Structure 1
Amino acid sequence: MTVKLEWTNEQEQVALPGGLGKLLDKLLAAAARQEGLESGIVSLTFIDNDAIQQLNRDYRGIDRPTDVLSFALTEMTEEDISINYDELELEEEETALDESDGELLGDILISVPKALEQSEEYGHSLERELGFLFVHGLLHLLGYDHGSEQEEKEMFAKQEHLLQQAGLSR
């Protein structure tokens, strides 16, 4: 079995870099090796600032756009899983997840306009910022957090290692 990525682009404001799918697959494979993950499915959706702000407000109580949100299914209750994508006016995902590839690990949502803004602010490519946000969200799905100084140090070291493996160092 393998770890599989299902992703969709639900925003039209910013063009995604060419070859992004291959980069995301490479990052996912590296993370799976690093974490000893043998199977599972990760769902990734690229959205705009309005959609991510709504989710950030509804699920975190913070009424502003953020760059990435992760919803790990292993940590969620039945109540938490009921994200209503219809209210966000997102298109329905055209490809159904194939459960023979393993359990759905969770959802990662990235605001592409926010990622572009941050890539310009930090002086690196949009590709690097999207890769960073994907890895950050993926590590959250796998149970990592940055609530304490020690947790942050561990999570950020893993992020940086994975980004370097994919050629996305700063």
Structure 2
Amino acid sequence: MTINLEDESKIEIQGTDLPALARKVIEAALDYEGCPYEAEVSLLLTDNAGIRKINREHRNIDRATDVLSFPMLEYDSPSDFSCAEAEACGCFHPDTGELLLGDIIISMEKVREQAKKYRHGEVREFAFLITHSMLHLFGYDHMETGEAKEMEKRQEAILHSLNILRILR
């Protein structure tokens, strides 16, 4: 697995190796969803100004958000990886053969803000946002109530498998 991590934010979570945590969460999501391929994910850590700019440019929404997901695949149904072999769109890296899943962009300022707001730790918030975004990269969405409940169930199962629990502070 390849994670292309770029940190523009320079915001740290004290005592936490963010690249190692990101790798652990991404691997857990891949395993939980049964991805049959080695995969590549790009992860950008930015601040509110950076994510606001990207949100404005790509979604025409002029505000900061916590996380953005840009999947490379279009699934017939979530986590149906058979679409990867059926597509002739170059969804595998030509050198490594890894499945190109897409891009995750996280505002580290929002990680801090939301950890306080939801009264849990920054590690949990960071892991939650990666998990949430990975599910988007697998084709899940939360536009309808049933979809949202399914995503929530999967998010909690992945985080629970890593013993990253929502402990209120």
With the length of structure 2 as denominator, give the TM-score of the two structures: 0.80
**Counterpart in 2 of 1:83?**
none
| Distance 1:99-1:166 versus aligned 2 partners, 3 A rule | farther
**Counterpart in 2 of 1:24?**
22
Residue 135 of structure 1: how far off its partner (Å): 0.6
In structure 1, give the amino acid aligned to 2:64: P
Q: Does 1:42 align with 2:41?
A: yes
Q: Does 1:121 align with 2:117?
A: yes
SS of the equivalent of 1:22 reads helix
Residue 125 of structure 1: how far off its partner (Å): 1.1
Equivalent-residue separation in structure 2 for 1:7 and 1:66 (angstroms): 19
Q: What are the ranges of 5 or more consecutive residues in structure 2 without an aligned counterpart?
A: 75-92
Find 2:128's aligned residue among 128, 132, 151: 132
**Counterpart in 2 of 1:167?**
163
Find 1:148's aligned residue among 144, 152, 158: 144
| Distance 1:126-1:101 versus aligned 2 partners, 3 A rule | farther
Contact 1:23 1:166 in 2 (8 A): no
Q: Does 1:60 align with 2:59?
A: yes
Of 116-125 and 18-27, deviating more is 18-27
Q: Deviations over 1:17-71 (max 9, x none)?
A: 4222222222122111111112210110100111111111122222110000011
Percent identical pairs in the alignment equals 40
| CA-atom RMSD in angstroms | 1.7
Residue 98 of structure 1: how far off its partner (Å): 8.3
With the length of structure 1 as denominator, give the TM-score of the two structures: 0.79
